[in-house]
Amino acid sequence: VGDDERASAAFRLALIADPADADVPGEYLAAMERLGRGDEAGALLAEIVRRRPDALAAGDALAAIGDDEGRSGKIVRF
């Protein structure tokens, strides 16, 4: 769990810094799902897609978990 905690924190920072990166959204989502926090990851990805429609990888990661419209209902601030 410690490795996934560190990885998810690092990927979250990278995701916020460069939401258009092709690899980071999927890696972030995978780490968060292993921690049982996939909904939280989905909410962040949905907010990124809402603010940055050019962040296609974030949208793809949402679609992969079936939440391509950000329906998790969580409010995310970053």
Instruction: Answer yes or no: is 74 within a domain.
Output: no
pLDDT digits (tens, 9 = 90+) for 1-19: 688 899 889 988 988 888 7
**C-beta atoms surrounding 31 within 10 Å:** 22
Instruction: Answer yes or no: is 77 within a domain.
Output: no
DSSP string, 11-26: HHHHHHH-TT-SSHHH
Question: What average pLDDT score do residues 42-66 get?
Answer: 75
Instruction: Answer yes or no: is 29 within a domain.
Output: yes
Q: How many helices (H) and strands (E) does the chain have?
A: 4, 0
* pLDDT given for residue 71 in this prediction: 47
Instruction: Answer yes or no: is 78 within a domain.
Output: no
Q: Which domain holds residue 13?
A: 2-64
Question: What average pLDDT score do residues 32-37 get?
Answer: 92
Amino acid at 7: A
Domain count, the chain: 1
pTM: 0.67
Instruction: Answer yes or no: is 13 within a domain.
Output: yes
- Per-residue pLDDT at 30 exceeds 60: yes
Instruction: Answer yes or no: is 72 within a domain.
Output: no
pLDDT bucket at 36, cuts 50 / 70 / 90: very high
